[in-house]
Amino acid sequence: MLSRIAVIDYDMGNLHSACKGLDRAGAKPQITDQAADIERADAVVLPGVGAFDPAMQHLRARDLEAPIRDAVASGKPFLGICVGMQILCDRSEEGHESGLGIIPGVVRRFRSEPGLTIPHMGWNQLDFAQPDLPLWWQLGSQPYVYFVHSFYVEPSDPSLQAATVTHGSQTVTAAIARENLMAVQFHPEKSSQAGLQILANFVQQVAARYDHPATASRRAAALA
């Protein structure tokens, strides 16, 4: 059975590119802004492009804060992408809205320095801080992925960093991971083979979770 992955729609992302990557990885993505769909899904993807404040305003307008927090708390695999990673934090230097507060931390702006281009845009290499994370399987050392951002996540607990990236003299968070929660600052759907492998690894984690007999039984009951 294909894994059902809810891709949250809050008017802040290129949802179809993410869905295409998930579909190629063998999942069944569903674009939705409905709490019931998020609850029934085997996993959740929270994409996003744009600014922090509009993202949070759109989420609140659609009453999606509680469903997102519940999805993370449920233990099902959860993947945030770009702004979908940033809004998991407490707040951002970009605006005034409070974030979801799921990951304690602040979203910071890159410091200006001579020769540094902001936004950080284009291909750059990941340095793995959690090299054994299943999301990184079969990627090799320091893979190139595609970034477009002027702000980055600074978690209160540095051990949550799953990968970093260096732009100019600044080394910042490129990914975070904690139990079932994973999030990346770059765009896997724009990152060629490395990005497709990351999405495939996420889908594989979802499938492995539901291959467990006890979890499969709970899933069947939820779908009945």
d(CA 202, CA 211): 14
Q: Is 179 a catalytic residue?
A: no
- Which residue among the candidates 19, 82, 120, 167 is catalytic per the annotation? 82
**Rounded CA separation 182/80 (Å):** 6
Catalytic residue among 19, 89, 149, 189: 189
82 in active site? yes
Q: Residues 58, 149, 167, 187: which is the catalytic one?
A: 187
Reply yes or no on whether 187 is catalytic.
yes
Q: Which sign does the torsion angle of CA 14, 205, 198, 196 carry?
A: negative
Q: What is the Cα–Cα distance from 139 to 158, expressed in whole angstroms?
A: 23
Q: Minimal CA–CA distance to 198: which of 121, 137, 124? A: 137
Catalytically annotated residues: 82, 187, 189
